[in-house]
Amino acid sequence: MTTRLFHGDCLDILSSIEDLSVDLAFVDPPYNVGKDYGDYKDDLPIGEYLLWCKRWIKELKRISYSVAIYPPKKHLLWFWNQIPENYQIICAWSPEGAIRSGFVHQYIPLLVPPKPVKRTKDHWWNVQVSGLGYFYREEKFDHPGQTSLDITNRVIHSFSKPGDTILDCFMGTGTTGVICAKSGRNFIGIEQEKKWFDLAQKRIDDTLQQPMLSEATP
């Protein structure tokens, strides 16, 4: 099992990847809602943001035949149109979530490859997401867009096999790499902000020192 981590701009690094077999790319990109990621500015004009997204999606599709995206709900249709062959999974939870424009958010969509490696439900119930506040039981790292271990674990186990290579070009705190280290997958991670890159590297290194989980673990 191998782990390769890259510190830098995702487009620069993705464009340099040639002849590399990636079995699944799973990304949770910035949502362009003004969060403080550090060097990256999360408040681009909408046209510029979508053009940027189109560029990294094109690179992911060049590198991997399977791409899973955790898209902003506001732009779900736009993202789906970039990968129309993909399928939608609904992730829901029972406690009340964040309030946006009068709606209480209690689900998020995932765009996933059309063929899972094992039978997979299209509705994932009682998932962990950081927006649950008090009910969020995973460790918090103060990352503005932290992806939960729960959702990442379900994606990795549903759409890849042990020994596969997984790529995450918005690595953040290294959640995808942690799941790969626990479950016998190879991992390629890219992160632009040095603070999060260093944290991701430490989390993944620490996980690699622990015994791997059985593939039977959900």
Residue 197 CA to residue 36 CA, distance in Å, equals 15
Q: Which fold has domain 3-208?
A: Rossmann fold (3.40.50)
pLDDT digits 0-9 by tens, 91-104? 998 887 778 788 88
What tens digit of pLDDT does each residue of 19-63 get? 678 999 999 999 999 988 888 889 999 999 999 999 999 999 999
Is residue 92 classed as helix, strand or coil in its secondary structure?
strand
Contact present, 14 and 169 (Cβ < 8 Å) = yes
Mean pLDDT, rounded, for 175-189: 97
Domain ranges for the chain, please list them: 3-208
Q: What are phi and psi of 103, to 5 degrees?
A: -100, 140
Taken in order 163, 159, 118, 209, is the CA torsion positive or negative?
Answer: positive
Residue 175 has pLDDT above 50, yes or no: yes
